[in-house]
Structure 1
Amino acid sequence: MKNKAVLLSTLIGMSCHLAASEDYQAYIVNGTDASITTFPSYVALFVDLIDYNNTYYEGNYCGGTILNSTHILTAAHCVYSADPDNNLYSLFTTVVPDLQYESYFPYNITEKKRVAKIYYRDDYNNSTLNNDIAILQLESPLTTINTSHYANRPSTGTTYRSSSETFYAVGHGNTKTGVDEKDYLQKASLKYVDNSSCNYSNMTDTKLCMEGVVSPSNGLEASTCQGDSGGPLYWYSGSNYIQVGLTSFGPSTFCGDASFNSTSVFTEVYDYQAWIDTVLAGTETAKYIATDAKRQAYVDSIGKEPSSSGDSGGGALGFMSLLFMSLFALVRRSIQ
């Protein structure tokens, strides 16, 4: 998620990308280029209103991974809202697979699918980000992928909580705090930190703590700091990339500065295997269902947003446009 979208969520309180005492954001910082063919399960989440008012938000706001052709794993705080009928993320999230360059969205991509149903656990805590995990069900199956795109989840008995193991966080991210200069998919090399040594007070056994590896070439520390929440943490087993976590939160300042001990926190996937399987089996009830009627009602309430580019393809929503749309909905909701 862009920092602009973080500010938006904080201002309007409609989608909690920021919670509790720490600054719960996550973006790849001081990473290196990553090929989407190496990490094919990765997807980007965008706010996309093209079919409704010819606009879209120009940067992805969260990441996720492919569980199967119709289900995406991400962080609950990416899509949670106390008022989802008036929330852009709940209503207008589009999932894009195989996205090597962030700027390829929306007109140079293989496909995109809109989210229809949102699942998160009953015990999700939007303040502590405990149980920060969600599954998005798509309106229709992804058609350009195959089973090789599905995330590899850890099997029973797998052990990886060791500082000697190799981990990678993947996403579209910053080169340093607050600066998004990388269009190409990025990966950050991380190492395991015991929860007792993590920088945060709200650690539980279902969270993984990681710190960045310092590059010998520039002295900068790889990190997840601002924006790509919900994206994967992979453990390299020596032969496969296994998704052991999803990005939950990290520090808001000094990202990548090796003189500061910045740790980031990931929801541990293994602890939620049973819940994931019940969602995939269709036995869980969705927390929210986004329909065309609900989306149209939202757009009608804010008015048609003009194209910013002048071309026939519509325009990217700038920060002020997105802020206006969301504040308008907030005001409308408060006076009802």
Structure 2
Amino acid sequence: MVYSRTLLKTFIILFVSTLQAVLGLAIPIDPMVKRIVNGFTVPTPFAPYAVFVEIDLGNNVAGLCGGSIISPNHILTAAHCVTTNGKAIPAANLTIGYGSETKEKQKNVVATAVAVLPGFLDKGSTNLLFDLAVLTIPTLTFTENVQRIPVYPQKIGPGQGLMATGWGLTADDHLSDTLLGAVLVTGDLAYCKSITSSFVDSNGPRVCILTKLTPGVSTCEGDSGTSVVISSGNVPMLAGVVSLAVYMGKATCVDSNSARFFMHPYYYIDFIAQATGMSKSYLTTTDSTYNKWEAELSLGLPNEFEDSSSGNVVVTETVIITPSGVPVY
């Protein structure tokens, strides 16, 4: 699909306006809540790194996640998407869709290897502090619609605007056929630690997002493994990988008391470098010529576990499709 410069600029203006709204700037959020509660459509040239991951679990059951292109041969995703019963799912069971914001128009490749962050699979159980995996795939040809995204190597503070993308559930409990984006904001240290004492800060293993900072906007089931990006000099960089949600009360994706704890890829850059065979310099810098965000985007962009006694509802954000076609969350 070809987008005119006018349409691309319109997307930028809409995105910046949304970011201004959720950060409490000049534009009121109320008129926009209804249209962005499920996210806004993200044209492929704005997120050419985003991929759809379908997991064949056998017996006509499929898991649905997302991921990010980090090299011509590698996808970064969440470990819980590609593991089951205490071991990695065979690479041949993982199909990666890429090159279009619309799933039916994507090209597909099958993974050839799976590397799970050491520590995630721990004596037959899972440790969600290590929820990252690297998939090896046949070599992709980079184009305007297919690009890698570098890992963001700088500090992430509270109140930072980020953009998450994915094909997960929308407000009406339907999976999206089109890539959607949502502006999110990192939470303050004290509040994030009150939700889970294991949280360090957003420069540690995980990045904390608070739903109350972006009313009605959130990632949801089916978004696990997808990209959470930040603008660095108008270049999109990977600041997080959708992982886990903590619900303090009502378990809905946009509940104002919920939090998201995304994996922080730069914290685990040594693992990513080892799994890909790429240098840390390559993984954290951009060599592409595409820059669809342009000068207008000068603003910053825009499942955790606890003791059972905490009363919090803790979930991963993966969707499983049964033979009848009914999603199971």
TM-score (ref. length: structure 1): 0.62
RMSD, aligned CA: 3.3
Distance 2:183 2:238 in 1: 14
Partner of 2:134: 135
Q: After TM superposition, give the deviation of residue 243 of structure 1 in Å.
A: 0.4
After superposition, give the CA deviation of every residue in 1:232-290 in whole Å (9 maximum; x if it has no partner).
11012351111011011114622224xx222111010111112111122189xxxxxxx
Q: Is 1:36 aligned with 2:44?
A: yes
Q: After TM superposition, give the deviation of residue 37 of structure 1 in Å.
A: 1.0
Identity of aligned residues (%): 25
Distance 2:140 2:276 in 1: 15
Q: After TM superposition, give the deviation of residue 212 of structure 1 in Å.
A: 3.7
Partner of 1:100: 101
Q: After TM superposition, give the deviation of residue 45 of structure 1 in Å.
A: 0.5
The aligned amino acid for 2:210 is: E
Q: After TM superposition, give the deviation of residue 82 of structure 1 in Å.
A: 3.4
Q: How do 1:318-329 and structure 2 match up within 5 A?
A: 319-320=322-323
After superposition, give the CA deviation of every residue in 1:98-151 in whole Å (9 maximum; x if it has no partner).
23123x1xxx33x2110121101221255440111100012x222364797111
Counterpart secondary structure, 1:265 = strand
Q: Is the 8 A contact 2:68 2:149 kept in 1?
A: yes
Partner of 1:159: 155
Distance 2:236 2:176 in 1: 23
Distance 2:243 2:38 in 1: 18
Distance 2:118 2:175 in 1: 38
Partner of 2:53: 45
The aligned amino acid for 1:64 is: G
- How many pairs are equivalent? 240
Q: How do 1:56-67 and structure 2 match up within 5 A?
A: 61-67=64-70
Distance 1:276 1:191 in 2: 25
After superposition, give the CA deviation of every residue in 1:10-63 in whole Å (9 maximum; x if it has no partner).
xxxxxxxxxxxxxxxxxx9631221221111110001469xx99x895xx7010
Q: Is the 8 A contact 2:55 2:94 kept in 1?
A: yes
Q: Is the 8 A contact 1:118 1:135 kept in 2?
A: yes
Match of 2:77 among 65, 74, 79: 74
Distance 1:75 1:91 in 2: 17
Q: Is the 8 A contact 2:113 2:136 kept in 1?
A: yes
Distance 2:212 2:101 in 1: 23
Q: Is 1:124 aligned with 2:120?
A: yes
Q: After TM superposition, give the deviation of residue 166 of structure 1 in Å.
A: 1.6
The alpha-carbon distance between structure 1 residues 40 and 116, as it changes in their structure 2 partners (threshold 3 A), is same
Q: Is the 8 A contact 1:42 1:66 kept in 2?
A: yes
Q: Is 1:231 aligned with 2:231?
A: no
Q: Is the 8 A contact 1:225 1:264 kept in 2?
A: no
Counterpart secondary structure, 1:320 = coil
The aligned amino acid for 1:143 is: T
The aligned amino acid for 1:30 is: N
Counterpart secondary structure, 1:193 = coil
Distance 1:84 1:29 in 2: 36
Q: How do 1:175-324 and structure 2 match up within 5 A?
A: 175-176=170-171, 179-180=173-174, 182-198=176-192, 199-204=195-200, 205-212=204-211, 220-251=215-246, 253-257=251-255, 260-281=256-277, 319-320=322-323
Counterpart secondary structure, 2:186 = strand
Counterpart secondary structure, 2:323 = helix
The aligned amino acid for 2:64 is: Y
Counterpart secondary structure, 1:250 = strand
Counterpart secondary structure, 1:184 = coil
Counterpart secondary structure, 1:162 = coil
Distance 1:129 1:232 in 2: 18
Q: Is the 8 A contact 1:29 1:224 kept in 2?
A: no
After superposition, give the CA deviation of every residue in 1:213-235 in whole Å (9 maximum; x if it has no partner).
767xxxx5211231210111101
Counterpart secondary structure, 1:183 = coil
The aligned amino acid for 1:207 is: R
Distance 1:222 1:30 in 2: 7
Task: Please list every run of at least 4 consecutive aligned residues from structure 1 whose deviation after the TM superposition is greater than 6 angstroms.
Answer: none
